[in-house]
Structure 1
Amino acid sequence: MSNGYDLKDIAENYARKTDSELIHIATEKAQGLRPGVLEIIRNEIKKRNLNPNILEGAKAQNREYSLEEITELSQKLRSLPCPLCGNKTAKLNGTIMHTAKSFIVFSFFRKEPIIGCPDCLDKKNQESIISTALLGWWGIPSGILKTPFYIYNNIKAKKQNRIAEPNETLLSFTFENIGQIETYKDDSEKLKQIIKYVKK
């Protein structure tokens, strides 16, 4: 991101960014930034009187985490209300909705991660199974070839929805969103926005 520019140019570029652009970069797009750029971000955060944890989000994307650390951070997400139904008692986990839709010459395949309570995750996997079973077969040849695998993958994912510990999907989601989660780990309202399901 910083290749070809000296730090002065980069500092001037960051100074022109809005607060929301700076926060987006620091919490979601900071992987691979060199230390000098992190210092520029630190200065901008301080100058604008923004949440200092934003810098922690940038640093988080540039360090290694152990499985234990990722698991610990995922517990912050597990304790939130379900973003799909509002359930506040069930521990959240993750699943992948595997959906296939075909229209003879065109086939559409989607793998969509979702965070929610076990009941809602089961419903989402079931919706994908039904949708794929009804609409996945009609594309030639990819629909016919891929539809059974997408149905199977939903069944397989469904088996992980009710395990007691954070499942692989939730751990992957935590790692992929580590900058935001580190930034807002003590702000439940922001964490709710991170895990909110947005239908695509």
Structure 2
Amino acid sequence: MSNGFDLKDIAEFYSKKSDSDIIHIATQNARGLKPGVLEIIENEIKKRNLNPNILEGAKAQNKEYSLEEINELSQKLRSLPCPLCGSKTAKLNGTIMHTVKSFIVFSSFRKEPIIACPDCLDKKNEESIASTALLGWWGIPGGILQTPIYIYNNIKEKKENRVTESNGTLLGFTLQNVGQIETYKDDAEKLKLIIKYVKK
């Protein structure tokens, strides 16, 4: 944004944004913003009487976190009900569904993170394995080459679904969404929306 823009131009730009745009920028797209721009966003948040935690989300995206800090934030997600089955009995964790679907000359490759209880994570990895084993082979050459790798990756991910601590996928998800999680860390309903699984 600094290319040809001074802070006055940037302030005017943000003043024309809607409240939802400001919230989205501050909680999800503030990584790399200069301190002057963060101050402009802070002014907009105050002027509009928005939740002051939104600014914490912007700052969080521009902060270096230790593994311990990310692990601590991930615990906020682990204690939520499972977004797939609603169970509250098991701590949540993360997995990645690796899926290949091939159509002779075209292959589709997806790596989709999911946060859920261990039982649901296992089911999702098993669905990916079955789907990839059935539909992955038919693309030349991508499907033939990638299908065994994606099946193996699902098996490997599945082994991490029941570890007692936050696994690598959950920690990565937490870091990637740190702005939103910092903003809403005391609002369980908002956190549920962050981890909600939306089938693509």
The interval holding the TM-score normalised by the smaller chain is: over 0.9
Partner of 2:45: 45
How far did residue 2 of structure 1 move? Answer: 3.5
Whole-angstrom CA distance in 1 between matches of 2:2 and 2:138:
47
Consecutive unaligned residues in structure 1, runs of 5 or more: none
Which SS does the other structure have where 1:137 is aligned? coil
- What SS does the corresponding residue of 2:171 show, helix, strand or coil? helix
Q: Are 1:2 and 1:33, in contact at CA under 8 Å, matched by a contact in 2? A: no
Task: Name the CA distance, whole Å, in 2 between partners of 1:13 and 1:76.
Answer: 34
Q: Deviations over 1:8-42 (max 9, x none)?
A: 00001100000000000000000110001111011
Contact 1:28-1:58 at 8 Å conserved across structures: yes
- 1:6-85 alignment to 2 at 5 Å? 6-85=6-85
What's the counterpart of residue 128 of structure 2?
A: 128
Tell whether 2:154 aligns with 1:154: yes
**Aligned to 2:85, what secondary structure does the other structure show?**
coil
Aligned residue in 1 for 2:101: 101
Identity %: 82
**What SS does structure 2 have at the residue aligned with 1:140?**
coil
Coordinate RMSD, CA, aligned: 0.5
Would you say how many aligned residue pairs link Structure 1 and Structure 2? Answer: 200
Query: What is the rounded CA distance, in whole Å, between the counterparts of 1:4 and 1:155 in structure 2?
Result: 50
Q: What is the CA–CA distance in structure 1 between the aligned matches of 2:3 and 2:85, rounded to whole Å?
A: 45
What is the alpha-carbon distance in structure 2 between the residues aligned to residue 87 and residue 103 of structure 1?
37
Q: Is the 8 A contact 1:100 1:147 kept in 2?
A: yes
CA contact (8 A) 1:27 1:180 kept: yes
Within 2, Cα distance between the matches of 1:119 and 1:40?
45
Which residue pairs with 1:190 in the alignment?
A: 190
AA paired with 1:108? S
Structure 1 residue 171: Cα displacement: 0.1
Query: How far is the alpha carbon of 1:89 from its aligned partner?
Result: 1.4
Name the CA distance, whole Å, in 2 between partners of 1:97 and 1:198: 13
TM-score by length of 1: 0.99
Q: Find the counterpart in structure 2 of residue 180 from structure 1.
A: 180
Gaps of 5+ in 2: none
Instruction: Output the CA distance in 1 between the equivalents of 2:143 and 2:38.
Output: 46
Aligned letter for 1:57? Answer: G
Query: SS where residue 25 of structure 2 aligns?
Result: helix
Between the aligned partners of 1:3 and 1:93, the Cα distance in structure 2 is 41
Moved over 4 A (4+): none
Distance in 2, Cα, partners of 1:96 & 1:158: 9
**TM-score for the superposition, normalised by structure 2:** 0.99
Secondary structure of the 1:83 match is: coil
